[in-house]
Chains A and B, each alone.
Chain A
């Protein structure tokens, strides 16, 4: 299968730094921000953005993970999905500005599930969405607030995000199915 690398490690780092600055700019500082990553890779991205933000703003930025498995709308289709832990920072999310972090934004269904999951955990003042890659093809009225890279893609293609912590190497690539000119 032909694979085309679209973001190298340095590009990912730059994109995350820019997102960190954009979040701080739109929120006028790190006040009340809670970053929640969606497992697996969103959690790692959220952790990196939180680290960069706390460096820039010189205050700790709370971050955690939000598992959406139990809120998906496709649980009775396909394979059995096993949940991952949800870790909410000690301060909770009531009244906070929650920034959801995911690696790839596609149909928007994961984010729909995440919004439902958030509703069971508390009442944030606002919810924002950051994604490393936006590949389009939304099926729900959901849009990101902070995007690393817009990657127009065909629905036959697959976006492959690899991060050092779980995959050993780091890049984003587009994989086209056999016989389909990329």
Chain B
């Protein structure tokens, strides 16, 4: 693996391989010494042009557990705020000797540009670009689902036969996009539920089915309910009349929670808007995998960094 830019082009076998390596990395997190020497001497730069706590901390923990050196770069307070271009920033990182760059950027496609520009040799991991993709989040969601449903014999398996409902702000959600591709590649059946105003143009070409009503979607048996965050910061227009109306129609409240089948799990990529897309009852219930998703995130990101940084760099001149 040279870069991880999107889940769209991952094959089933590649995805299962990443999840299997993550399984071994998860074992390390249960030990007393949570550190492996695999990436000793490698430098990982966290290049974050957008705010993030959990993704950045998760990548940082992952790199440190593999003994890599980590440089955190936040655009705020850096030369970027003085008007430095992505190209100059990238070339600076190349000069520092970065082996991998984990990049989050407000513009969709920025990691792609970084990976293909030739400005820098390092492997590029997309940690969220605009409203495009967030591949490691989808991988950790797939990993969490696989662990919950298959437990100890999760290794080598895909998600065939499971049905996943993704609810909420699909329009602005890179998590929804990455998950739609990855989970279908892994054999799960994916349904999107959102108000029509929060579905992107072209959604009918995705490998998913679409429902506008949460209640009708939950009437069919579902293994996973994945709630998306309502991204108020990306909303420049009114997409729904009021927050109360959104919560009533598309929120996972206590009443809908009680209607779920036994065994159905509730996921949320965080940070949660409690009372808006998810009630506190749902977020804190035994079905909720929110905290598991956070700890699994470290294991999955360890797997991705390991696969990216070990072995001969094939197309390195």
- Write the residues of chain A forming the contact surface with B, with a CB cutoff of 8 angstroms: 67, 69-71, 75-86, 116, 120-122
| Interface residue stretch chosen among B31-39, B47-55, B205-213, B275-283 | B31-39
Hey, which chain B residues are within 8 Å of A78, CB to CB? 311-312
| Chain B residues closer than 8 Å to A116, beta-carbon distance | 37
A25–B66 CA distance with the chains assembled, in angstroms:
40
CB of A82 within 8 A of CB of B20, answer yes
Interface residues of B (CB under 8 A from A): 1, 17, 20-21, 23-24, 27, 31-33, 35-38, 66, 155, 306-307, 309-312
**Residues in A neighbouring B21, C-beta threshold 8 A:** 82-83
Pick the 5 closest A-B CB pairs, nearest first. Answer: A80-B311, A70-B36, A70-B38, A120-B33, A83-B24
Residue among B1, B17, B66, B311 with the highest chain A CB neighbour number at 10 A: B311
Given contacts A82-B20, A82-B21, A83-B21, A77 and B31 within 8 Å (CB-CB): no
With known contacts A71-B36, A80-B307, A85–B24 Cβ distance under 8 A: yes
Q: Which residue of B lies closest to A80 (CB)?
A: B311
Query: B304 CB to closest chain A CB, in angstroms?
Result: 12
Interface of A is mostly: loop
Interface centre among B1, B38, B309, by most chain A C-beta atoms within 10 angstroms, is B38
Which residues does chain A contribute within 8 Å of B66, judged by CB atoms? 70
Which residues of chain A come closer than 8 Å to B31, judged between CB atoms?
120-121
A116 CA to B36 CA, complexed, in Å: 10
- A120–B30 CA distance with the chains assembled, in angstroms: 12
Complex CA gap A83/B38 in Å reads 11
A84-B311 Cα distance, complex, nearest whole Å: 16
CB distance from B115 to the nearest CB of A (A): 18
Q: Which of chain B's residues have a CB closer than 8 A to the CB of A67? A: 24
Complex: chain B residue closest to A92, CB-CB: B32
A84–B17 Cα distance when bound, in Å, is 11
Q: Of A75, A120, A121, which is within 8 A of B311 by CB? A: A75
- Is the CB–CB distance between A79 and B311 below 8 Å? yes
Closest Cβ of chain A to B56, distance in Å, is 24
Q: List 5 A-B contacts (CB under 8 A).
A: A78-B312, A81-B310, A83-B21, A85-B155, A121-B33
Least Cβ distance of A147 to chain B in Å?
29
Nearest-Cβ distance from residue B28 to partner chain A, whole angstroms: 8
Measured CA separation A175–B100 after assembly (Å): 40
A86 touches B24 (CB 8 A): yes
The answer to whether B24 touches A84 (Cβ under 8 A) is yes
Least CB distance, A78 to chain B, in whole angstroms: 6
Which B residues are in CB contact (< 8 Å) with A84? 24
Given contacts A78-B312, A80-B310, contact A120 B24 (CB under 8 A): no
**How many whole Å from B120's CB to the nearest CB in chain A?**
18
Closest A-chain residue to B38, C-beta based? A70
Instruction: Give the distance in Å from the alpha carbon of A126 to the alpha carbon of B21 in the complex.
Output: 30
A sample of 8 more A-B contacts (CB under 8 A), given A71-B36, A71-B38, is A70-B37, A70-B38, A76-B310, A78-B311, A80-B310, A84-B24, A85-B27, A120-B35
Nearest chain A CB to B23's CB is how many angstroms away?
8
Given contacts A75-B38, A120-B33, contact A86 B310 (CB under 8 A): no
Q: Which residues of B contact A120 (CB under 8 A)?
A: 31, 33, 35-36
- Residues of B with C-beta under 8 A to A76: 309-312
CA distance A85 to B66 in the complex (A): 17
A77-B33 Cα distance, complex, nearest whole Å: 26
| Chain B residues whose C-beta falls within 8 Å of the C-beta of A77 in the assembled complex | 311-312
Query: A122 vs B155: C-alpha distance in the bound complex, in angstroms?
Result: 26
A152 to B309, CA, bound (A): 37
Q: Which residues of B contact A80 (CB under 8 A)?
A: 1, 307, 310-311
**Closest CB in chain B relative to A24 CB, distance in Å:** 30
Cross-chain contact A75 with B24 (CB below 8 angstroms): no
Docked pose: A78 CA to B311 CA in angstroms = 5
